[in-house]
């Protein structure tokens, strides 16, 4: 009985662990996005608030942008700098992309 309980706790622990792995904010921070993207103030890149204004009603298009299937729409004339970041999205799973998009569009 005790062993069963321990096994149960381990399973719950693992679940919490994998939930944290798809935390959009963590993905954003881990990939150095905050260097150029602040929460509310435009900086080197547009703020999350600015980006959310463009994509709030169309998260699918943001997913396509990250996958290289849609053109930039926020500051297209400054895309060169963002272009160097695009490889990072290729390394992300669909689940991670979704979490990242959800976090960004909350602003
Ligand atoms: C070296 C600075 C820099 C870093 C680091 C950076 N970006 Fe950007 N990003 C920019 C610039 C500049 C733009 C404006 C050009 C543009 O709109 O595409 C931009 C634009 C964007 C846009 C708007 C795209 C559009 O439709 O125009 C999104 C979304 C975005 N970045 C997400 C991210 C995410 C997520 C990360 C982290 C993986 C990241 N950026 C890292 C500089 C950066």
Question: pLDDT by residue (tens digit) across 15-67?
Answer: 555 555 589 999 999 999 999 999 999 999 999 999 999 999 999 999 999 99
Tell how far the Cα of 5 is from the centroid of ligand 1, in angstroms: 46
- Point out the least confidently predicted range of 6-20, 33-47, 61-75, 76-90: 6-20
Burial of 90-107, coded b for 16+ CB within 10 Å and e otherwise, reads eebeeebbebbbebbbee
Nearest atom (ligand 1) to Cα of 100: 35
Residue identifier of the C-alpha nearest atom 17 of ligand 1:
75
Tell how far the Cα of 71 is from the centroid of ligand 1, in angstroms: 12
Q: Which pLDDT score is estimated for 40?
A: 97
Q: Which pLDDT score is estimated for 103?
A: 98
Tell how far the Cα of 2 is from the centroid of ligand 1, in angstroms: 51
Residue identifier of the C-alpha nearest atom 8 of ligand 1:
82
Banded model confidence at residue 14, pLDDT cuts 50, 70, 90: low
Q: Which pLDDT score is estimated for 42?
A: 98
* Rounded Cα–Cα distance for residues 62 and 68 (Å): 10
Q: Which pLDDT score is estimated for 7?
A: 60
Task: Check residues 8 and 76 and name the one with the higher pLDDT.
Answer: 76
* Rounded Cα–Cα distance for residues 80 and 88 (Å): 15
* Rounded Cα–Cα distance for residues 49 and 39 (Å): 6
């Amino acid at each position: 009985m005790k062993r069963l309980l321990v096994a149960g706790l381990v399973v719950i622990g693992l679940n919490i662990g994998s939930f944290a792995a798809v935390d959009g904010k963590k993905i954003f921070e881990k990939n150095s996005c905050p260097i150029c993207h602040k929460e509310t103030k435009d900086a080197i890149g547009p703020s999350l608030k600015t980006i959310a204004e463009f994509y709030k009603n169309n998260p699918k298009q943001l997913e396509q942008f990250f996958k290289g299937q849609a053109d930039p729409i926020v500051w297209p004339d400054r895309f060169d700098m963002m272009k160097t970041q695009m490889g990072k999205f290729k390394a992300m799973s669909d689940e991670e992309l979704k979490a990242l998009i959800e976090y960004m569009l909350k602003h």
